[in-house]
A and B are shown apart, each in its own frame.
Chain A
Amino acid sequence: MSLLDQIYAKAKLNPQRVAFPEAENEKMMQAAFETGQEGYIIPVLVGNVEKLKVLSEERGYDARVFEFVDIRDEEYKHTLIERYTALPDTRLKEKALARRMEDPLYYAMVMEAVDEAGVTFAGIDNTTGDVLLAGQMIIGLRPGISTISSIGLCDIPGFEGSEGSLLAIGDSAVCTNPNAEQLAAIAVSACDTVRELLDWEPRCAMISYSTLGSGQGELIDKVVQAVQLANELRPELAIDGEFQFDAAISPSVAEKKVARESRVAGKANVIIWPDLNVGNVGVKLIQQFGHADAYGPMLQGFNKVVCDCSRGAPVSEIKGNVVISAVRAAGNRKGESV
């Protein structure tokens, strides 16, 4: 069973309510309908309900698959605002929040913040910047996490790692030049993401051109400091380094290069690059030479799952990302209740 098939099967076991603030968009409505009809999610269309219902009918969809939320429904909006402003550490006060909620993107995120939806799925009409800003303003970052980042999941034919052909890598897309504190945040967030999505026990390697002091210099110092900060922030997680890439994933190389106990060396399932130059080149190498399928980027670091799809994404890709997001949200909720 492929990685996506596994995730799809998992989604069906616990379908999440996914808020779609851009459902007037044809591709987005189709993705919402199909994932809803196939039983992976409960699609909640947020916007002008009259218009959404007309569009749904014109496009030939059975409207019973959808739930509709009208952003002009003052009573429900008032309830959401009351519940949101009662949460700890929220940024916007009532008046500013009400104004922002005239935008369906913000409205949907408020629903997510107060658990009326598990995920907000957007990015087909809004820019990445719009989605990230709304996410930071409404959902906020997890405690101790100083930056948004991303991970991707690679399915690499012929790779025999500690999770078979799968390897999580980050950040290859969002945080360009992280300092040590931000790098630590990326590692911690990545561990949470793979646990939520795949139920992995994360073993996270922080990568450099040096293994445990075999090289010296400021580029290495940053990674060493990041490992220390990550371990201070979340001591229960297996985050280790600095390791060269081969020492992280190959047991035989780790045996030669890592002369101390490590829960990670040689069997890492999460790889954290030192910066975006390495991350972008790394993912391209894995794709071009490793012929890997790469899934993502999945945004991380937020208090709840925030998604941004590419504005040029086809319906099939949107559907995959919707389902991945829903499974992450279910995992996130499970973690909260532990």
Chain B
Amino acid sequence: MERKELEAKIIGLVATSYDVEESTLTAETSIKDDLGGASIQMVGLVSEIENELDVLVQLQTAAACNTIGELVDKVEEQL
């Protein structure tokens, strides 16, 4: 999967998990500062990544990512 395609896919999954407009998100969006939210939303995001991309990202790994771009890097490593 191309990087851009993966990025778009993950932005879609972040939008679903955090219940925000997909158009407001970019690779630079800060997961902690811009999206906030509780760990339950991060659990939802990790589950969605498992379901849709068949990749198992540890919760701690995902939670340590500052931006969506960093999360895309972690998923890309597993593909």
Indicate with 1 or 0, residue by residue over A122-149, a CB within 8 angstroms of chain B CB atoms. 0000000100010011000100001110
Least CB distance from B57 to A in Å reads 12
Q: Would B50 and A136 count as touching, CB distance under 8 A?
A: no
Question: What residue in chain B is nearest A185 (Cβ atoms)?
Answer: B38
Question: What residue in chain B is nearest A181 (Cβ atoms)?
Answer: B38
Asked if B61 is at the interface of the complex by the 8 Å CB criterion, the answer is no
For residues 80 through 106 of chain A, which have their beta carbon under 8 Å from a beta carbon of chain B?
A: 91-93, 95-96, 99-100
What is the CA–CA distance of A182 and B66 in the complex, to the nearest angstrom?
23
Assuming the contacts A129-B60, A136-B43, A137-B43, asked whether A92 and B38 have C-beta atoms less than 8 A apart, the reply is no
What is the CA–CA distance of A153 and B36 in the complex, to the nearest angstrom?
32
Least CB distance from A144 to B in Å reads 12
For residues 1 through 54 of chain B, which have their beta carbon under 8 Å from a beta carbon of chain A?
A: 38-40, 43-44, 46-48, 50-51, 54
For A146, the chain B residues whose CB sits under 8 A away are 38, 40
For B54, the chain A residues whose CB sits under 8 A away are 95-96
Q: Would B38 and A147 count as touching, CB distance under 8 A?
A: yes
Question: What residue in chain B is nearest A135 (Cβ atoms)?
Answer: B43
Question: What residue in chain A is nearest B37 (Cβ atoms)?
Answer: A146
Least CB distance from A104 to B in Å reads 17
From A91, A93, A129, A148, residue with most partner B Cβ within 10 Å: A91
Partner of B50, one of A96, A148, A182: A96
Q: How large is the interface on B (under 10, 10 to 19, 20 to 34, 35 or more residues)?
A: 10 to 19
Q: Would B40 and A141 count as touching, CB distance under 8 A?
A: yes
Least CB distance from A113 to B in Å reads 14
Partner of B44, one of A91, A95, A129: A91
Asked if B56 is at the interface of the complex by the 8 Å CB criterion, the answer is yes
Tally A-B pairs: CB < 8 A.
35
For A92, the chain B residues whose CB sits under 8 A away are 47, 50-51
Partner of B51, one of A93, A133, A148: A93
What is the CA–CA distance of A182 and B38 in the complex, to the nearest angstrom?
9
For B59, the chain A residues whose CB sits under 8 A away are 129, 133
Least CB distance from B42 to A in Å reads 9
Partner of B40, one of A95, A100, A129, A147: A147
From B47, B56, B59, residue with most partner A Cβ within 10 Å: B47
Q: Would B56 and A91 count as touching, CB distance under 8 A?
A: no
What is the CA–CA distance of A147 and B38 in the complex, to the nearest angstrom?
7
What is the CA–CA distance of A136 and B39 in the complex, to the nearest angstrom?
9
Question: What residue in chain B is nearest A94 (Cβ atoms)?
Answer: B51
Least CB distance from A89 to B in Å reads 11
For B38, the chain A residues whose CB sits under 8 A away are 146-147, 182
Q: What are 29 A-B pairs at a CB distance below 8 A?
A: A91-B43, A91-B44, A91-B47, A91-B48, A91-B51, A92-B47, A92-B50, A92-B51, A93-B51, A96-B47, A96-B50, A96-B51, A96-B54, A99-B50, A100-B50, A129-B59, A133-B43, A136-B39, A136-B43, A137-B43, A137-B46, A137-B47, A141-B40, A146-B38, A146-B40, A147-B38, A147-B40, A148-B40, A182-B38
